Amino acid sequence: MHKIINNAKNSKETKISSTIEIKKEDKEWKQDKLNPQYASKTFSVSAGASIRNYKIKITKENAKDIGGIKVTNTKNIEKNEFAANEKFKVLIPIKNMKEKGNLKLTVESQVQTKPILYGAAPTSSKQDYALTAMTYEDGKGEKSDSYPENETKIIVIKQDSQTKKKLEGAEFELLDENKKVVYADLKTNQEGKIELKHLVPGKYYLRETKAKEGYEVYQELIALQVVLHEQYKVTVNNNQEEKPKIEVEKKEKYKEVSSTSIKKLPVTGR
């Protein structure tokens, strides 16, 4: 016992049991399954010893303009205090992810510790002693995590199918899954282009409402199932003798996937 006590007293090695670690359960921010208006990521908390209930706080590092961030349990119930073995989620409104940024997560809890009290025997004939007790001390941990810019977008191109000349002044509307107008009076620019950025993923319909003089309006609703970080390019090909033709090109821009799928829709008229 005497040898053990001396070794412990003279040891330069220390282990801080009150350090708490935040672990990412998800590698990437994904569209939340319970609330598709948000991107979410799940985290867990651990320490070198048992912990009591813990509290989570989030601060913005270089994300001043983003708002509406929530801390919830895995059922999306907002709270900031969790049981020791309970996971938590961070939810960010997709519509607010207009640029990438960093968040700092801070966890605070009480961590179990066993302090040792050393005592020297009054005489050499008696053995030195050590006392240990179970108690808890304040613990803290931090983790920074970055989130990406929402790359979800729809690009509309209006062009002459024969000359490929881009047509300015064509008008479109974007409708949601209930066919209610989300964006109205969308007009192609000099490049025959409309670009809708930072969209919340979901089902949309694109509708042409006005074509350039001498060209036909595409009468059908163009359905688009938009996925987070994917880019959709809709090309409306017109000439002055035929009805419009549509091409829809999808590209996973955020993941930089080079494969492209093209879907040609039926030729329609008035």
Domain definitions of the chain by residue range: 2-146, 153-265
Q: Which of the four pLDDT bands, split at 50, 70 and 90, describes residue 168?
A: very high
Whether 2-146 and 153-265 share one fold: the answer is: yes
CA distances from 241 to 21, 153, 238, 269 (A): 67, 31, 8, 11
Q: What is the pLDDT of residues 197-248, one digit of tens each?
A: 999 999 999 999 999 888 888 889 999 999 999 999 999 988 776 667 777 8
Residue 76 has pLDDT above 90, yes or no: yes
Give the whole-angstrom CA distance, residue 21 versus residue 64. Answer: 25
Other Cβ atoms less than 10 A from the Cβ of 112: the count is 17
Token pair 């047509």 is found at 167
Which fold does the domain 2-146 belong to in CATH? Answer: Immunoglobulin-like (2.60.40)
Helix (H) or strand (E) holding 9: helix 2-10
**Contact between 238 and 266 (Cβ < 8 Å):** no
| Residues 9-27, mean pLDDT to the nearest whole number | 74
Which fold does the domain 153-265 belong to in CATH? Answer: Immunoglobulin-like (2.60.40)
Residue 254 in tokens: 């955020």
